[in-house]
Chains A and B, each alone.
Chain A
Amino acid sequence: MKTDWKFILQIFLSFLKIGPATFGGGYAMIPMIEREVVDKKKWIRNKDVTEIFAIAESVPGAIAINSATFIGYRLAGVRGAVAAMVGVLLPTFIIVVILSMLFLIVKDNPHIESAFIAIRATIVALIVYAAYKIGMTAVYDKTTLGIATVTTAILFFLHVHPVVVIISGIFTGMVAVQIKSWFGMSIKLEKDELNVVKKEKQVKEA
Chain B
Amino acid sequence: MDVLVELFLTFLMIGFVSFGGGYAMIPVIEIEVSNHGWMTTQEFTDVIAIAGMSPGPIATNSAIFVGYKTAELPGAIVSALAMVIPSLLIILIIATFFFRFNENKFVKSAFYGLRPIITGLIVYAAIKFAITNNVIGELSWHTASLMIIFGLSLFSLIKLRLHPLFVIALSGFVGMVLY
**In the docked arrangement, what's the CA distance between A56 and B90, Å?**
10
Inter-chain contact B18/A97, CB cutoff 8 Å? no
Give the residues from 97 to 123 in chain B that come closer than 8 angstroms, CB to CB, to chain A.
101-102, 106-123
Inter-chain contact A119/B18, CB cutoff 8 Å? no
**In the docked arrangement, what's the CA distance between A146 and B51, Å?**
32
Q: Is the interface of A mostly helix, strand, loop or mixed?
A: helix
Inter-chain contact B91/A66, CB cutoff 8 Å? yes
Jot down 11 A-B pairs with beta carbons below 8 A, ordered by A. Answer: A26-B57, A59-B101, A60-B18, A96-B51, A119-B46, A121-B133, A129-B157, A151-B124, A156-B124, A166-B121, A176-B109
**In the docked arrangement, what's the CA distance between A109 and B73, Å?**
24
**In the docked arrangement, what's the CA distance between A124 and B27, Å?**
12
Inter-chain contact B111/A128, CB cutoff 8 Å? no
Separation in Å of the A134 CB from the closest CB of chain B?
5
**In the docked arrangement, what's the CA distance between A42 and B107, Å?**
31
**From B95, which residue of chain A is reached at the shortest CB distance?**
A73
The listed residue (B69, B113, B127, B149) touching A174 by CB distance below 8 A is B113
**In the docked arrangement, what's the CA distance between A118 and B173, Å?**
8
Inter-chain contact B150/A125, CB cutoff 8 Å? yes
Q: Report which B residues bind A (CB closer than 8 A).
A: 13-24, 26-28, 31, 42, 45-46, 48-61, 64-65, 68-69, 73, 76-77, 80, 83-84, 86-88, 90-92, 94-95, 101-102, 106-130, 133, 135, 146-147, 149-151, 153-154, 157-158, 163-165, 167-168, 171-176, 178-179
The listed residue (A69, A107, A165, A176) touching B112 by CB distance below 8 A is A176
Q: Report which A residues bind B (CB closer than 8 A).
A: 19-26, 28-29, 54-66, 69-70, 73-74, 78, 81-82, 85, 89, 91-93, 95-97, 99-101, 103-104, 107, 111, 113-132, 134-135, 137-139, 143-145, 147-152, 155-156, 161-163, 165-178, 187, 189-190
The listed residue (B20, B26, B54, B171) touching A95 by CB distance below 8 A is B54
- Measured between beta carbons, the chain B residues less than 8 angstroms from A144 are 112, 115-116
- Measured between beta carbons, the chain A residues less than 8 angstroms from B119 are 131, 134-135, 138-139, 148, 151
**In the docked arrangement, what's the CA distance between A92 and B53, Å?**
11
Inter-chain contact B110/A174, CB cutoff 8 Å? yes
Tell whether A59 pairs with B90 under 8 Å between CB atoms, given A100-B69, A151-B117. yes
Tell whether A177 pairs with B112 under 8 Å between CB atoms, given A96-B61, A114-B178. yes
Inter-chain contact B163/A24, CB cutoff 8 Å? yes
**In the docked arrangement, what's the CA distance between A39 and B16, Å?**
32
- Measured between beta carbons, the chain B residues less than 8 angstroms from A95 are 54-56
**From B58, which residue of chain A is reached at the shortest CB distance?**
A25
Inter-chain contact B172/A99, CB cutoff 8 Å? no
- Measured between beta carbons, the chain B residues less than 8 angstroms from A168 are 117
- Measured between beta carbons, the chain A residues less than 8 angstroms from B157 are 125-126, 129
Tell whether A26 pairs with B84 under 8 Å between CB atoms, given A59-B91, A119-B171. no
Inter-chain contact A172/B130, CB cutoff 8 Å? no
